[in-house]
A and B are shown apart, each in its own frame.
Chain A
Amino acid sequence: MIKRFATLLPVVFGVLCLTFALLHLIPGDPVDVMLGESASVTDRLALKAQLGLDQPLAVQFGQYLLHVLQGDFGSSIHTQTPISQLLWQAYPATLLLAVVALAIGLAIGIPLGIWSALKAGHWQDVMITMLSIRLAAMPAFWLGPVLMLVFAVWLGWLPVSGMTSPLTIVLPALTLGLGLSAILTRMTRTSLLEVLSEDYIRTARAKGLSERQVLLKHALRAALLPLVTIVGLQMGSLLAGAVITETIFSWNGIGRLLVDSIEKRDYPVTQACVLVVALSYVLINQATDLVYRWLDPRTRGTQ
């Protein structure tokens, strides 16, 4: 276990290097870009000192590492709020959105995928496949507004945006979840069809089990296993996809914080958001890997 997490260290270090480099990729003087040309010399020097830009590069990087390890991301240039506080407020919202979206994706994707596989070649399968291909071709910044238009504006069933009532999560979560369900439907279908053609399924049928028992006891368990990995990978897309969805629906999560900070040229906040999302993704993937190993009887116990 510890060994597995040790293999993450180079990646984490690399992620830190890349996010550190972001501030230095700004063409010209970052202070100019952030404060604008008209800023006074004192302000410029103060910001330079605050960001540590007056230090040699190696010292800057060392300090960056040291601070991040202590959970200190500096403070926002505009409001002077500590960035860790901003992240602390935004992160749970994004996580909640991602988890609800995942639940929606699974609740729609798996049953549809199973149905589609059981009816392979029939019109139901063709319909589901057509639907999921179309859903997958719908980017969040179009699906979101359309859902908003239909359910909030025309039908008036749900709130348009914001975070005022528990119902406000429905539309953003649907936006993310529907896209995910399209992928999960196709994955479940492929995986189940593959398992159903295996010898042990034929054996189970031959010994007289009902089709229901074959499916529930033998096929599904094996067919759904690869989905664990897909879900882990998709969790990352959910975190990143939240950037657009949160912007559309005014959901105050990490994605909106990121976009806001970019618009205000508040680059330390941008840097911190990118870092936190990337690190979450790395951890989620590692966790998925562990769960997979634990669930799969073929790899269980072989570390």
Chain B
Amino acid sequence: MNIKDKLTVSAAPHVHDKSTVKNVMWNVVIALVPALIFATYYWGIRALLLSLTGAVTAVVCEALIQKLRKVPITVHDGSAFLTGLLLAFNIHAGAPIWLPIIGAAFAITIGKQVFGGLGNNPVNPAIVGRVFLMASWPTHMTGGWVAVKNSALSGLNDLTRIATDLQSLSPKAYELVTSATPLKVAQTLRDSSFVADINAQAGGLNLSGRIFSSLTEMETLKSLFWGNIGGCIGEVSAFALLLGAAYLLYKNIIEWRIPLFFIGTVFVLSFIFGGIPGSEISIMLPFFHIFSGGLMLGAFFMATDYTTTPLTKKGRIIFGIGCGLLTIIIRLVGGYPEGVSYSILFMNVMTPLIDMLTRPKAFGRVKK
């Protein structure tokens, strides 16, 4: 028996759990499918079209650049597809088709490939793309929310109950609740001159307090949870995103620390600091904050990006808390209604420092 030439000689271990990069990335894509289905249901086929446009653009871009760089083309690993999809999820369904194309192209080239591709980018490429679009075409990014297909009004459709009333009381308040996202409404109600205006228009009524408390009503929270609300494609439904997140947690693809501490921090801080003058603090206020905007998408799908988040468990806790803290600061006192992507971006940059400061002590090594 001459088997000398046939035996593989390699270093231990000789067995593997069969996980691959490809498997990880495509599973995250699968986890985003429920959100995509919900978005398509509420906003029509256009949401699907924009999402796929982003994903395909990213794949094509990555392949082209890898060809230029003369490195193996690895687009089948799904990471570019995922980046493109996430980028498109940060755009609303009424946006022009070129928006996800430019965004995805920017995300892949500047956000990822200039640093050397997968595993080497310092910050989340999808967020790089989003921030670039926000800075370049703010009106396309934030204006013109599409009407929720299955309901009468855009934005906070559940405020229809008070909207009819509002129209006669204060046109300005009416415009706000019918055209803005819930977070924008919450932010505007923190503007004292705006509050004074609408309350005056309404003849001294506490209109601002009334609108604010309607944000935390069960009906509103239900809409936020199921997705019957205006916003970006990927912000659609907390339920759909949680479904995907549960899948990723079950599959051991994402780890619980970052999402838990991110969402937990937002939950606690919004309860303490989220109220406005002239309105009672509702026990439901934290739920409004965690279910609205991009928090679910950000916490489970973007702040868990492997490459740009800390390696250590302690580091991931710090990362999560940092993201939550910054999100709340931006939402409550910043210039934007939503701060999820900026806070993740900021914490991405902090990651090497966090890793350095939280290096684990080896088993049996005493703290010095």
Interaction A to B: no
